[in-house]
Structure 1
């Protein structure tokens, strides 16, 4: 089976890895405008899915999240964990606005530890916080994980093609199956008006003394990574197309993070990064669609619209997308 996967970010790579496990003799080609400049490269990579994250049903949403966590946790237990950029991390989320801000229906159900903080823990950071939760989760260092995933795919015979795709129909005629993991690109490829960019910006700093992550509400976060590099954030600019670095956002991020953890004032800035999260109003789209031209009809599996939770949920939606692909093969074999 000749399969094309459109999109070279975490969703596309995760889908290709899952597909190769299910269809070992398949010939997979990943087509992407870039493999090095994706939103996945900007993400801090902490496994945390908001309560608002949604698939078509709560049952399917839970399956995506649970399958994703188990996938990363299985990697964490192997000798490849460091190469793959997967490790455990623990930390806090604090809030002043409402106790609801520190609750999370998905994470409380899934993670090994998710509890209220003690009065003493509320004083760990500056700011006079009223509410807090402590939890242990998984960290995906995407600067390591994405190259690791690409290398595994190349060794398994997957072909990576850097090319801009202007129409899914131009791909379907050359492949038995197409899986669309194009993220924000699906606005044009699928004419999907439900896709909205949410601009993000983070600052990477050298802060090897930070071993624990901290959230102040959901607006400010400090997430330790590999090699002593820490991600400071963040920005959520709804419906913004701007990928230019904004010094005002950088100053705001630094000010808020230093207010939370004063020792960050001495942290050296490594770089600033921006990206556009592919948020889809309603729910993430993982479904089948028949695409026809004057000569033939082909099935396309869509897998896009993860918003800011692509790194967290890509393995789960990938598994679901591959199940849909298997269904198309069963349907074809009966014809």
Structure 2
């Protein structure tokens, strides 16, 4: 009986968490992660990594969306409580979200009853940051520092006999010869061309990493303003440029981000910048996690898609990965290689 071969397209947080869960489920399988970009070159590397899905994040239905979020939190929280937490870059983090516009902005039905603490901010807390804040919430959640998690996950994958293949895949035909029994497509924005998926659009984001070791609390404000402490730096953001493919750092966005963040947390005015990044979030409504059988050069190819997480890839990757692995099991049911 020949061995089971699984190919995972994409080496961002979605691809790596999927590959690790595939290795756990199919202990004897050979799993490859195939990508043209790894670690620092991925969109995941730019992410602040806080567990806070947007309220508009969705799967095919509410029940599936809730399960993805809940499964993801369980995954991250288990790692956070384990001995590898520091190496994987995972910790608890608490902070505030403020708004002068609407109470709905500071609520989050996806996590209010999931995280350890989510409560209304007191009148005194609404005055912690300058501004006319009328609404606020305080909550504790999980932070995944992708600068640590991506290398950690890659090394763990390799230790489990996983193989990294550096290759650009423009078409499923590039995986010729039936090399894999099933392919899991975690290509992010690359799936737009790969699948000719017009629902998938980039949402450009830009962040500034600053040195501000005194900050241990995150803050969110109106107009996509956020200040999120990490292990080695603090992430200032942000922007959301719909359908933009511009990957260059904009000085105008930089100035706007610093102005908003410094207005929210004035002590940041003395914080030196250490890096600036731009990432294109792969947004799709809904996120696509589903099976498909393709015909490539006269042969059938079993594919499981797992892409379109937008700005919530770090938050929800483990949950959609778990779903994708179940679909792989279904795709291979009846196979003599199982």
Same fold (TM over 0.5): yes
| Over 3 Å off, 4+ runs | 331-334
Partner of 2:192: 187
2:46 corresponds to 1:67: no
Partner of 1:111: 115
After the TM superposition, which of the residue ranges 171-180 and 201-210 deviates more from structure 2? 171-180
Partner of 1:175: 180
- Paired residues for 1:208-223 under 5 Å: 208-217=213-222, 219-223=224-228
For 1:248-306, what per-residue CA distance to the aligned partner results, in whole angstroms no more than 9, with x for missing partners? 100100010110111000001101000000001x3000000001134321210000000
| In structure 2, distance between residues paired with 1:269 and 1:7 | 30
- How big is the alpha-carbon RMSD for the aligned residues of Structure 1 and Structure 2? 1.1
What secondary structure sits across from 2:6 in the alignment? strand
Partner of 1:151: 155
What secondary structure sits across from 1:324 in the alignment? helix
For 1:74-132, what per-residue CA distance to the aligned partner results, in whole angstroms no more than 9, with x for missing partners? 00111110000000000000001111111111011211111100000000001121100
Give, in angstroms, the shift of residue 329 of structure 1: 1.5
2:38 corresponds to 1:35: yes
Give, in angstroms, the shift of residue 70 of structure 1: 0.5
The question of whether the paired residues in 2 share the 8 Å contact of 1:169 and 1:291 is answered with no
Give 1:206's match in structure 2, choosing from 202, 211, 216: 211
| In structure 2, distance between residues paired with 1:261 and 1:208 | 14
What secondary structure sits across from 1:226 in the alignment? coil
Gaps of 5+ in 1: none
Partner of 1:225: 230
| In structure 2, distance between residues paired with 1:109 and 1:54 | 18
| In structure 2, distance between residues paired with 1:237 and 1:51 | 18
2:330 corresponds to 1:303: no
Give, in angstroms, the shift of residue 52 of structure 1: 0.7
Partner of 1:97: 101
Give, in angstroms, the shift of residue 218 of structure 1: 5.3
**TM-score normalised by length of structure 1:** 0.97
| In structure 1, distance between residues paired with 2:160 and 2:336 | 26
After the TM superposition, which of the residue ranges 28-37 and 146-155 deviates more from structure 2? 28-37
| Aligned residues between the structures | 332
The question of whether the paired residues in 1 share the 8 Å contact of 2:172 and 2:296 is answered with no
Give 1:24's match in structure 2, choosing from 18, 23, 27: 27
2:85 corresponds to 1:81: yes
Partner of 2:245: 241
Give, in angstroms, the shift of residue 170 of structure 1: 2.5
| In structure 1, distance between residues paired with 2:150 and 2:325 | 20
Give, in angstroms, the shift of residue 51 of structure 1: 1.2
Give 2:316's match in structure 1, choosing from 313, 317, 321: 313
| In structure 2, distance between residues paired with 1:310 and 1:159 | 23
